[in-house]
Each structure stands twice: as structure tokens, then as C-alpha cells.
Structure 1
Amino acid sequence: MTGQSRPVAVIVDGYTTGNFLPPAFTAIGADVVHVQSSAELMTSMTLPDLSAYRANIVCTSPEAAARVLAEYAPVAVVTGQEPGVEWTDRLNALLGLPGNDPASWRARRDKYEMIEALRRAGVRCAEQFKSSDPEAIVEWAEQRGEYPVVVKPLASAATDGVAVCSSPDEVRKAAEVVLGASDIFETRNREALVQSYLAGTEYTVDMVTVGGKRYTNGVSRYRKRLQGTHNIYDREDLLDPASPEVAALVEYTSSALDALGVQSGPTHAEVIITEDGPALVEVGARLSGSLAPEFQRACTGVDQAHLVALAAVRPQEFLDRYAGKVFSRNRFGALVITATELDGTVEEIDPGALAQLEALPSLTNLRVKIKAGGRIKPTVDLYTSTLGVHLATDSADQLERDYERVQQLKDAIFRLR
């Protein structure tokens, strides 16, 4: 609006960890306006807290939204969650703001287009095929003649629908499951994707980019196990930036982001170090889904949401302080991701078990994902994990003791009917 004294930033689809963006912008003296890219809010995710925004704009197109937003003279448009990737890119272009080329938005949203963009750029990547026909997907796997392969939706998240398949029957079943469902963003899966299996250790690489220049705010190593066709995640450990794999992961991920046209904004990449070197699993052009700002601040001194806000409102300050650099690790840190075999309705959260979890010496953040009255069922993906427990401490031994205690309490916290 004319005469406003505080800069205004726009957040598109501020679901889940996008809820950390409004307080980050407020902390650096900016207001936020929310843009909802769908006619109705997507109830499959944690909803945006619309009370944190000056306004919530619901339009049928980015062009219509841009006309409304022009009144606020925004300084930046950022993505809150993956459904907003296309609108973010288009709004930045329509408003004359720095951002990513909207002509290539699919490479930053569609997992097939993402890997093909890497292939065209000569960046190491998986082999792949997509189809709306399960039998065509089976035929590709059989002709390739090397199992396992990975079947997944084209544009979901939280390992939704991802299956590691070791036979034609498993491939067929996994493809049918994907094609018979919607993704977590409530969009019907019209095609399924099958890719070669990347054997090796998986890592996450989180970055924030301004004008093609990046700061790496975290690199973590996953620990997981294969149960049937599903990868069950156990924990995510923040690495020492001096670890030998970090430099290779940062270099590879930056090359991948260049190939995907990422010139601006946050990214959360999953990368596997294979025997041939790092290879991308996928990248989300948004904040890390496991972001807990207090945990990142405790471990590295700065969190990704703050970095996004700083980059949007004061880009030169971001470049001066962070461009080309890698985080420092001040504490040992891990995210514990708990799995369960429980199946039923949660009657209540056990107060004694909850108190014991909250008393862990290294606890910085505890997320109980299933509330009283909610359904708990055996874990098959990140979406059906039960707790997210962030631990940060000066002692590696304390971290391990607290990890073991989480494992002892993870089911006791849920009382079933």
C-alpha cells in the first residue's frame, strides 16, 4: 500500500514449515502477505497461520494475484510449500522482482522433468521412465534388467508412495498404488515414475540462493532401513562441515541447482553418494521439511527461515555475509524420526511418557505428529512416522543416550483405545 514504512514480502502456500517464514520476516522488520494458489486450503498439510499475514489473497491465476499484490509494492515473493513453486516464479516475473525463470518451473517441481534437466546439463543422475500404464512401467524395468528400481509419484513429498521394488510384481503393485491415489498436495497422480536405484548413503543438503550465489546452511546424513518396499527413516545427523563428503555434496548440489535454474530462494536436496559419486534423488524448491529453527540456531547459529527472509529483504547483506560459504557446526545435532507398528486410535498422549521426552537434556524441539483422537498405523513413509525429535548437545555421548531414550518411549507416549 502507498505510504507503508515496512517492506512487504509475499509467501505463496505457507503450509507446514512455511509457517516459520512469517516470524522470520517479522524479526527483520518486514510484513508478509499470503497467496493461496488453490481455491481452498489443502487440509492434508499443516495449514498456514493466516493471522500472521497482513492479507490472504485467493485468485484464480498468478496474473490476477499480481494485480492485487502490486498495491503492496512487495520486495520479494518466496515459496512456502511445493504447490507454490509455479506461482512464486510467475509472480516474481509479473512483478518485476528477482527470481527463477518461470519457463522452467517444472524442472523444480516435477521429479521426471527435474532429472531430465540434470541429464541435459551433463550432471550425474538416475535413469528413468514415466507412464500412466503400470504394464509399461513393468516393461521398462524388465528391459532394463537390473533390480531394484524405485517407483514414486511425480510431484509428492515426505516419501509418499515411494517403493523400492525388486521384482516385476512389486513394480506393478507400486505403480498401481501411485496411479490409484492423490499426492499429499491433493493432486491426482496421472502418471507414475520409475527410476534406477541409487545405491549408497543418503544425505540432505539445504541451501539458500540469491542471484545464483549460495549459502549451505546444513548437510545431514540419513540413517534408514528397508522394510519390504519402503524405506523407514530413523534419524538425520548434522555433519561436521569438515567431513570429507560435505565438500563433494555441496559442489554437486550446486551444479544440480544450476541445471534446474535455481537462481533464488531456499532448497532442500536429497543426494545419494553412489560408487560413481553424488547423484540427486530430488530437490524441493522450499524450506527443509524437517526445519526446526531453534534446533538449527543451536547447532549452526542461524536457521534457514531467517536466511530466506534476509535474502528477500536485504539481499546484499545476505551476499556479503553468506554467499559461497558453508555452515559451522557448534553442537552435535540429530533429528530422530520414529516409526511404529501400532495400529488404532489414539485415546490420549501419555503425560508421563511426554514429560520424560520433554526432560531429555539435549531436546530442542518435539513434534508429536498424532494427536488424541487421531489414527496411528504402521509406519511406511515419513508421512506416517510418529514423532520428530530434534536433539542438540555439546556431547556426542549425550546425543546417543537421548536417542536411545526416544526409542524406548516412542510407543509408550501413545495410549490407544
Structure 2
Amino acid sequence: MNPVSSGVFLSAALRERGEECALVYDGHFAAEAGSGGPGRRVVHRDVHSTARLLRDLRVRHVVPGSEAGVDLAHRLAEHLDLPRNDDATASARRDKAQMVKALGDAGLQVPRQALVTTREDLARALDHVGLPAVVKPPASSGSDGCRICRTEREAVEHFTAVHGRSNLIGKVNEAVLVQEYLPGTQYVVATVSMDGQHHLHELSRSRIDERGGTPTRRHTISCHRLGSEERRLVAYVCACLDALGIRRGAANTDVRLTEAGPRIIEVNARILGPTLHPDPYFIAFGSSQQHLLVESLLAPADFRRRLRLGYAPPNVMGKAFLRSFGSGVLRGIPGLEAVRRLPGFHSVTSLPEVGSTVEDHALTTGTTGIVYFVHEDEPVVEKSLAVLVGMEDAGTLFDIAAV
């Protein structure tokens, strides 16, 4: 469903095993129908007609190819009576406000929050949540519409800016979520589940900078081994997956490790995005999340054996989401040669074309490139990431002519 992010490589992983794919796009993403690789294209109009077509194609599994496909994939699987996650918690897996409430109701420690639709609601929410607060759409992705507000005035301005507007996945923000700001290191936890058992594929620390109140993910670096804090964090995430009824398929979870312990940011019931190439993942982890998901669907006996293995990736991965820090026409990428010479460099993907227009934004969509470093020693990866960030901040990576 809507394979517009790493779903492109999910369909490729299926084809590698000789499987045919039906690529379903809803109206908002119909223009992307040429980007998902070979396969039958289906433009979704309504659940009944799409389900009828998929039934005729003898589809066996329905999986989301991006955040925008999570809800549609579940509704179609339910309509076709195909394997899927818990029906009762389907809306909580998509709506961040319902998600945090469901986790709190399950006895997990969660941030304070409130869902607001008016300025009066917002004032009461800030009294409950406190400042600073995170103000964001309850359903979007890539940090779209997310802002850390340190004053009531900032919160009001941001609420006004996002309320009633269309978000990154084509939904109107009919309400806005106000959430307690959580200090601490943020982690990404990528999993694949089968029969209620969760396989930890990737655990990575994120560097997130704040630019004008907007959280900007600069890079992630994977954990080579699990210490006591990391094990506690992973156990918390698995409890979140259980509470949200995630018994099968891929998920990626953002969680903060605070002084009081792990606290949820959000669970995404899909493969990790944006468009992440699987090749560096095979070097760092021995497989990619897309390929593990396919294994769980098509070779369950192999995946069950994998579930018995502990988390012990052979290498460390650093993944940098390149930032232009300027808008205009791209004249060149003069710093790229130096980046390619950095220790541990593996590859760079999704670079914009020279001559195209680039935009300075904080969204983690990978539109200005993603650099992968893979090495057996974590300090080597950390140093290369630091050099790259320094080049971005100094403006020596991209050459952009302001328009």
C-alpha cells in the first residue's frame, strides 16, 4: 500500500523471491504510481472495489509500503480476511494521540498529552502538559508539522499554522497534538514480528538538532551491542508493540531514554523510512528490514530460527540525512568527493540532480541525499559523521545559488 518510501525496496525484495506484487496507491499518491518498480499498478478508489481486484489477483498478504499505507493496508486485509494485526487497536497504530493513550491504559509510562482543536483547548493543554511542549499533527510522518514550543505564544502561532492544513500524507490536520517535551537521547528501534514475537533488527541513537523550534534529525548511529539501558529500552518497545496489537510485520519506534526511563515518541507500524537502500544494511546487520519482512511472510520457518538469535550485528552503521541549509538551484556538490574518502564510507543515495531546485527544510525525507557509513569500530563511524556534519554546517558540501 502506497510504496512511496522504503516500500520501493520492499517490492524489490519480494520480486527477488519470485513473487509478483500489486502496488496499490490511493488518490493522494496516484502520481507516484510509476516509482515503485515492476508490478501491477492499482489506484485505490474505495475499499470494496480495491479488495475485489486484489481478491481476483489472489493476493495473500497486504502490507504498508509507507506511513500513508498503514491504515489502508489494515482495512483491505480486514476486508479480505487476510492475516493482519489486531483490529481493535488499528486506529491507535495510526493516530499518535490514540497511540499514547492506549499505551498509558496498558500500564506503560508515557508523556503527558492533549488533543486540541481550538485556542482555548490549547491554553488548557499547556497548563496540563507544561512548557516546553511538542506541538504536532496527530497523524503524519518525517517530522512534518512538528515543533518544540517554549512559550505559549510560540504554541499558538504553530497551532494556527498547522491546524486545518493538509499534512505530508495528504490528511487534513483536524486536530493538533500537544505533548510533553522529553529530554534525553532519542533511539530508533526497527523490528519485524511474527506470531507476537518481535525480532530486533536495528537499534540506533539519533542526533536531533533544533532549528527554530523544529527538531531536525541529522544522523543515526547503530548500537553494536546491548547494555543494561538498551535492553530496558528494547523491552519497553516490545511492550508497546504488544499493547498496540502488533503481532506481525515491520515496525519502527522512536523512543527517548529519559532520566526516568524510556518514554515513547511514536510507533510506526511499517518498515523504516525514508527511502533507505538495503545494501548497506546487509553489511551492517546481515539483512535489511525489507528482506526480513519478506522472510517472515514467505519463509516463516527461517524467520522462526532467526527469532532465537540475539542482537549481535557484525558492524556499526552511521546514516546521515544530508541537509542543504539553503534553498535555491543546486550548482554542484563540491564536498562529495571528501565525503566519499571518509573512513567507513559505504554509499550515498537520493542525491538531488545538479540544476534542480532544493529546499531548506527540517523534514526527514531524504530528498537531499542519505550517506551511509559502515565499519566494525563505532569511533570510526562517529568521527566520519562529525566531519560530515561540520561540512554541512560550514556550507561546504552543497553549492546552491539562491533564487
TM-score, normalised by the number of residues in structure 1:
0.88
- The 5-angstrom pairing of residues 346-365 of structure 1 reads 346=330, 348-350=331-333, 352-365=334-347
**Displacement after TM superposition at 1:398 (Å):** 3.2
Partners of 1:163 and 1:229 within 8 A in 2: yes
**Displacement after TM superposition at 1:69 (Å):** 1.3
2:238 pairs, out of 254, 262, 271, with 254
In structure 2, distance between residues paired with 1:325 and 1:118? 28
- The 5-angstrom pairing of residues 48-197 of structure 1 reads 49-53=35-39, 55-141=40-126, 143-144=127-128, 146-179=130-163, 181-197=165-181
Partners of 1:201 and 1:222 within 8 A in 2: yes
In structure 2, distance between residues paired with 1:199 and 1:403? 23
Identity, % of aligned pairs? 26
User: 2:11: which partner in 1?
Assistant: 22
Partners of 1:15 and 1:48 within 8 A in 2: no
In structure 2, distance between residues paired with 1:174 and 1:384? 24
Could you list the structure 1 runs, at least 4 aligned residues long, displaced by more than 4 angstroms after superposition: none
Partners of 1:202 and 1:222 within 8 A in 2: yes
Is 1:376 the counterpart of 2:358? The answer is: yes
Decide whether aligned partners of structure 1 residues 386 and 35 sit closer, same or farther in structure 2, where only a CA change above 3 A counts: closer
Give per-residue Cα distances to partners, 1:61-113, cap 9 Å, x unaligned. 22222211122222211110112112211222233321113343211111111
In structure 2, distance between residues paired with 1:49 and 1:375? 20
The letter for the 2-side match of 1:349 is G
In structure 1, distance between residues paired with 2:247 and 2:389? 41
List gaps (5 residues or longer) in structure 1: 1-11
Partners of 1:41 and 1:47 within 8 A in 2: yes
Of residues 389-398 and 112-121 in structure 1, the stretch that sits farther from structure 2 once superposed is: 389-398
Give per-residue Cα distances to partners, 1:217-246, cap 9 Å, x unaligned. 010011223333122322211002332222
Partners of 1:345 and 1:416 within 8 A in 2: yes
CA RMSD of aligned residues (A): 2.3
Partners of 1:131 and 1:192 within 8 A in 2: yes
- The 5-angstrom pairing of residues 322-401 of structure 1 reads 322-323=306-307, 325-346=309-330, 348-350=331-333, 352-383=334-365, 386-401=368-383
In structure 1, distance between residues paired with 2:336 and 2:155? 40
**Displacement after TM superposition at 1:58 (Å):** 2.2
Of residues 148-157 and 406-415 in structure 1, the stretch that sits farther from structure 2 once superposed is: 406-415
The letter for the 2-side match of 1:272 is R
Tell me, what secondary structure is at the counterpart of 2:29?
coil
In structure 1, distance between residues paired with 2:351 and 2:30? 17
1:287 pairs, out of 253, 271, 276, with 271
In structure 2, distance between residues paired with 1:355 and 1:302? 28
Decide whether aligned partners of structure 1 residues 247 and 312 sit closer, same or farther in structure 2, where only a CA change above 3 A counts: same
The letter for the 2-side match of 1:312 is L
Tell me, what secondary structure is at the counterpart of 1:382?
coil
Of residues 359-368 and 215-224 in structure 1, the stretch that sits farther from structure 2 once superposed is: 359-368
Give per-residue Cα distances to partners, 1:315-369, cap 9 Å, x unaligned. 23312x22264432211221123334323222x333x533333344422231345
The letter for the 1-side match of 2:323 is A
In structure 2, distance between residues paired with 1:279 and 1:47? 37
**Displacement after TM superposition at 1:391 (Å):** 0.5
The letter for the 1-side match of 2:53 is V
User: 1:277: which partner in 2?
Assistant: 261
Tell me, what secondary structure is at the counterpart of 2:238?
helix
- The 5-angstrom pairing of residues 395-410 of structure 1 reads 395-410=377-392
Of residues 383-392 and 303-312 in structure 1, the stretch that sits farther from structure 2 once superposed is: 383-392
2:288 pairs, out of 303, 318, 331, with 303
The letter for the 1-side match of 2:348 is L
| Count of residue pairs brought into register by the alignment | 398
Decide whether aligned partners of structure 1 residues 162 and 70 sit closer, same or farther in structure 2, where only a CA change above 3 A counts: same
Of residues 216-225 and 333-342 in structure 1, the stretch that sits farther from structure 2 once superposed is: 333-342
Decide whether aligned partners of structure 1 residues 78 and 145 sit closer, same or farther in structure 2, where only a CA change above 3 A counts: closer
In structure 2, distance between residues paired with 1:145 and 1:79? 33
Decide whether aligned partners of structure 1 residues 96 and 381 sit closer, same or farther in structure 2, where only a CA change above 3 A counts: closer
In structure 1, distance between residues paired with 2:48 and 2:300? 25
List gaps (5 residues or longer) in structure 2: none
Partners of 2:134 and 2:146 within 8 A in 1: yes
The letter for the 2-side match of 1:134 is R
In structure 2, distance between residues paired with 1:395 and 1:123? 35
Decide whether aligned partners of structure 1 residues 146 and 310 sit closer, same or farther in structure 2, where only a CA change above 3 A counts: same
Decide whether aligned partners of structure 1 residues 132 and 409 sit closer, same or farther in structure 2, where only a CA change above 3 A counts: same
Tell me, what secondary structure is at the counterpart of 2:348?
strand
User: 1:5: which partner in 2?
Assistant: none
TM-score, normalised by the number of residues in structure 2:
0.91
The letter for the 2-side match of 1:144 is H
